Structure 1
Amino acid sequence: MDIKEIQNLIKFVAKSGASEVKLEMDDIKITIKTGSDQDVPSVQYAPIAQPQLQQVAAPVAEAKPAAETAAPAASASNDSKYITIKSPIIGTFYRKPAPDKPLFVEVGQTIAEGDVLCIIEAMKLFNEIESEVSGKIVKILVDDSSPVEFDQPLFLVDPS
């Protein structure tokens, strides 16, 4: 089971309203718990030891970090002067309050602290995400109506 399948399972459980789901397969065991006192579902992922899977997965795990380190290093130097506004919750990202309403912010727009930048829908609740900084929107990193994860970058803001 790959990470996309696990993410889709989390979204399905969150939308279904179930409080707990346990899934056991040959090589993994997953428990997803949601509760009224928690804002986001918690996931426990426990792989069950199987020698063949570990031998196959080890070379892939070693090759991945080398490829991932080169790309962020190049983009980090370009974006280092900007402030990144990140998602405080898991949910669906919306750029406008309703389909027939105008966008909250656009690239090039100047924002102030407290301005609403977007809405993130989580478990049928629409959460307004407000800016914690003043500046100019340089880039919007997420498409409208797409799922976002906790701490995922949403906007780049030039504070100058």
Structure 2
Amino acid sequence: MLKIHELREIIRLIDQSSIQEFELENEGSKVTIRKPGHSTVQVVEQPASVQVVQTAPAAPITEQPVVQEKKEEVAPQPVVTAQVQAQEEEQLHKIVSPMVGTFYSKPEPGAPTYVQPGDKINANTIVCIVEAMKLFNEIEAEVSGEIVKVLVQDGQLVEYGQPLFLVKP
């Protein structure tokens, strides 16, 4: 059976990590910890079949077996999944970098940016500069529409073919 300080240390380590579920079997005991927004700790000893359920990782754990059940009702919240976002982005045109270099959103420091989300553009609109080998290359939109999202930050290194902007045609 695990000692209480060992169990506390396991809970602390799991709480600080990105692990969502942890299971340990040791000398006839089984410990299961799950973290879907709150942690649940179950200690099951095979011969005595005792369960300890803890709903808050910071609560003190007593040495005596305690059976404690707390059910929390969580109201369902609307969640935009990655799949829905990917489908929406597929309908948008991507302005990509034609070369490897450094992305600049404005012609010079202190000047206003070429484009921002919500701006209307046409095919000849300059949307940014990509610096490659000390040459500053102005990048044109090549599509008419509205800028939906800027995908890179000013001064960021970009790769050939990397999407820079999403445009709603």
How far apart are the structure 2 equivalents of 1:146 and 1:114?
24
Map 1:1-160 → 2, pairs under 5 A: 73=83, 75-159=85-169
Partner of 1:37: none
Aligned AA (1:151): G
Aligned AA (1:86): V
Aligned AA (2:121): I
How far apart are the structure 1 equivalents of 2:95 and 2:82?
17
Structure 2 gap segments, 5+ residues each: 1-80
Aligned AA (1:90): V
Shift of 1:75: 3.7
Runs of 4+ in 1 over 4 A off after TM superposition: 71-74
How far apart are the structure 2 equivalents of 1:105 and 1:77?
24
Helix, strand or coil: the match of 1:78?
helix
Identity of aligned residues (%): 52
How far apart are the structure 1 equivalents of 2:88 and 2:144?
20
State the TM-score, normalized to the length of structure 1. 0.53
Task: Find the structure with the greater CA-based Rg.
Answer: 2
Helix, strand or coil: the match of 1:79?
helix
- Please provide the CA RMSD for this pair: 1.5
How far apart are the structure 1 equivalents of 2:85 and 2:162?
16
Q: More relative contact order in 1 or in 2 (CA 8 Å, sep 6+)? A: 1
Aligned AA (1:108): G
**1:24-47: CA deviations, max 9, x gaps?**
xxxxxxxxxxxxxxxxxxxxxxxx
**1:89-121: CA deviations, max 9, x gaps?**
000000000002110001000001110000000
Aligned AA (1:148): V
Structure 1 gap segments, 5+ residues each: 1-70
Aligned AA (1:119): I
